[in-house]
């Protein structure tokens, strides 16, 4: 899946040109020309990288950066004016991974983007954030928050029933371990459940349609004759 970049730049010509180049390189690009809107977008969606201009209408880029990084970890490259040394310093202090001075050569920007994506892969950042956060399990872009009883994929909330939620939780807790239908059944429905084990297949089917099919991933694998597993790779 190609990386998704949020491009926050209010100079329309520059934004359009940069977008074309990024798309040409195979990135998926979303654009915003307003700091407040960009913060909203960044908080509510998954981006692998954010290119953030500093002088913006709505909300200053540095303020967007500070508020954003308080809530989630995402690599940000600042787009700064030539002489704005203080902006660069404050930006790096506030947690930006890099900056590039305008006007820039597109090749340089692309190189910096490649480095940032390599050094700060989104899944690693998200996992690092989660070890500090109790009760949150994850797989790639998916997170399951036990306390909030909430499952999200790349920021999008997925409504699950209690049993779907429990089944997903058990699978996520046991990544790389194949769980039999009996094991899953007793963990999800209780040990004294007297029904058929094929209810497990039914819940798996619901989970797959809400997650695997909806987001085009292969999360839950069937191990023929044994059961189901989520592989961590
Ligand atoms: Ca600007």
For residue 42, pLDDT over 80 is answered with yes
Per-residue pLDDT tens over the stretch 176-189: 989 998 888 888 87
Mean of pLDDT over the chain: 88
| CATH fold group of domain 129-230 | Arc Repressor Mutant, subunit A (1.10.10)
The pLDDT tens digits of the residues spanning 132-170 come to 456 789 999 999 998 888 999 998 999 998 889 999 999
CA 39–ligand 1 middle distance (angstroms) = 15
What are the tokens at 101?
């001075």
Residue 127 has pLDDT above 50, yes or no: no
Neighbours of 62 (CB within 10 A): 22
pLDDT, mean of residues 206-227: 94
Instruction: Give residue 23 CA to ligand 1 midpoint distance, Å.
Output: 21
What pTM was estimated for this model as a whole?
A: 0.55
Instruction: Look at residue 20 in the predicted model and tell me its pLDDT.
Output: 96
Start-end of CATH 3.40.50.2300 domains in the chain: 4-125
Ligand 1 centroid to Cα of residue 25, in Å, is 24
CATH 1.10.10.10 residue window(s) in the chain: 129-230
Q: How far is the CA of 53 from the centre of ligand 1 (A)?
A: 6
Q: Measured in angstroms, how far is the CA atom of residue 57 from the centroid of ligand 1?
A: 8
Q: Given a cut of 50, is residue 122 above it in pLDDT?
A: yes
Q: How many angstroms does the Cα of residue 33 sit away from the middle of ligand 1?
A: 8
CA of 96 to the centre of ligand 1 (A): 17
35 CA from centroid of ligand 1 (Å): 10
Angle, nearest 10°, between helix axes 35-44 and 61-71?
A: 20
CA distances from 37 to 10, 33, 43 (A): 12, 8, 10
C-alpha closest to that of 157 among 170, 146, 144, 167: 144
Which residue, among 31, 89, 37, has the nearest Cα to 68 in the 3D structure? 37
Interval between CA 77 and ligand 1 midpoint (Å): 14
Q: How confident is the model at residue 64 (pLDDT cuts 50, 70, 90)?
A: very high
Residue 34 C-alpha to ligand 1 middle, in angstroms?
Answer: 9
Helices (H), the chain: 12-24, 35-44, 61-71, 85-93, 106-119, 122-132, 162-173, 181-189, 198-207, 213-215
Please determine, looking at this structure, whether the domain spanning 4-125 carries the CATH number 3.30.70.20.
no
Higher pLDDT, 85 or 75: 75
Mean pLDDT of 63-77: 92
Whether pLDDT at 103 is above 50: yes
Q: pLDDT-based confidence at 71, cuts 50/70/90?
A: confident
Check residue 84 and give its pLDDT: 76
- CA 83 – ligand 1 centroid, Å: 14
The C-alpha atoms of residue 39 and residue 71 are separated, in whole angstroms, by: 11
CB 58 within 8 A of CB 67: no
């Amino acid at each position: 899946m190609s990386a998704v970049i949020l491009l926050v730049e209010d100079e329309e010509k520059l934004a359009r040109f940069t977008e074309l180049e990024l798309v040409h390189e195979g990135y998926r690009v979303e654009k915003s020309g307003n700091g407040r809107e960009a913060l909203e977008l960044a908080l509510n969606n998954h981006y692998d990288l954010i290119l953030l201009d500093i002088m913006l209408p709505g909300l200053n880029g540095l303020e967007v950066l500070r508020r954003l990084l308080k809530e989630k970890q995402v690599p940000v490259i600042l787009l700064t004016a030539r002489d704005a040394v203080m902006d660069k310093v404050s930006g790096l202090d506030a947690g930006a991974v890099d900056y590039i001075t305008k006007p820039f050569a597109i090749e340089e920007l692309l190189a910096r983007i490649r480095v940032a994506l390599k050094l700060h892969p989104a899944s690693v950042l998200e996992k690092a954030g989660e070890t500090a956060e109790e009760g949150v399990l994850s797989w790639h872009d998916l997170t399951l928050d036990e306390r909030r009883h909430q499952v999200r994929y790349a920021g999008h909330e997925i409504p699950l029933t209690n049993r779907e939620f429990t089944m997903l939780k058990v699978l996520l807790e046991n990544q790389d371990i194949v769980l039999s239908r009996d094991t899953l059944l007793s963990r999800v429905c209780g040990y004294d459940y007297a029904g058929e084990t094929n209810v497990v297949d039914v819940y798996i089917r619901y989970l797959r349609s809400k997650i695997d099919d909806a987001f085009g991933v292969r999360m839950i694998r069937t191990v023929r004759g044994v059961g189901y597993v989520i592989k961590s790779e």
